[in-house]
């Protein structure tokens, strides 16, 4: 059975199916915040969606990180490394990409087991 979470007119923030949950690209609500604050916000949104889907960050299988400036890689990682479950690190990609709004400093997607 497919279950959708926080459904909007364009997309769902998360969709679970067949034992997996797919988290849509998450960005910070406060786009005026610095990169570290935006990263914490994005990771909290991912954690909240995982909880809503009945799972947690220890079951994340993959995360994709999008940064408009790859020079911010270390700053983003300083927050990410403190958040991620060190006993269960997911597969991860990090790419430089132009994002939908120039105020967005980081965006992340995730896939987790439920």
Please report, for the domain that includes residue 36, its CATH number: 3.30.1330.40
Question: Domain containing 20: what range?
Answer: 3-113
Cα angle for residues 11, 106, 6 (degrees, 5° grid): 25
pLDDT of residue 56: 97
Q: Structure pTM? A: 0.95
Q: What is the pLDDT along the chain (114 residues), one digit of tens a residue?
A: 999 999 999 999 999 999 999 999 999 999 999 999 999 999 999 999 999 999 999 999 999 999 999 999 999 999 999 999 999 999 999 999 999 999 999 999 999 999
Domain count, the chain: 1
Alpha-carbon distance of 3 to 80, in angstroms, equals: 28
């Amino acid at each position: 059975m497919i279950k959708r979470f926080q459904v909007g007119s364009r997309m769902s923030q998360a969709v679970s199916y067949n034992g997996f949950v797919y988290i849509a690209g998450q960005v910070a609500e406060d786009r005026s915040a610095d990169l570290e604050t935006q990263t914490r916000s994005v990771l909290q949104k991912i954690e909240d969606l995982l909880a809503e889907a009945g799972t947690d960050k220890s079951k994340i299988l993959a995360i994709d990180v999008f940064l408009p400036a790859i020079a911010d890689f270390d700053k983003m990682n300083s927050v990410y490394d403190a958040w991620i479950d060190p006993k269960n690190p997911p597969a991860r990609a990090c790419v430089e990409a132009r994002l939908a709004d120039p105020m967005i400093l980081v965006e992340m997607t995730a896939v987790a087991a439920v």
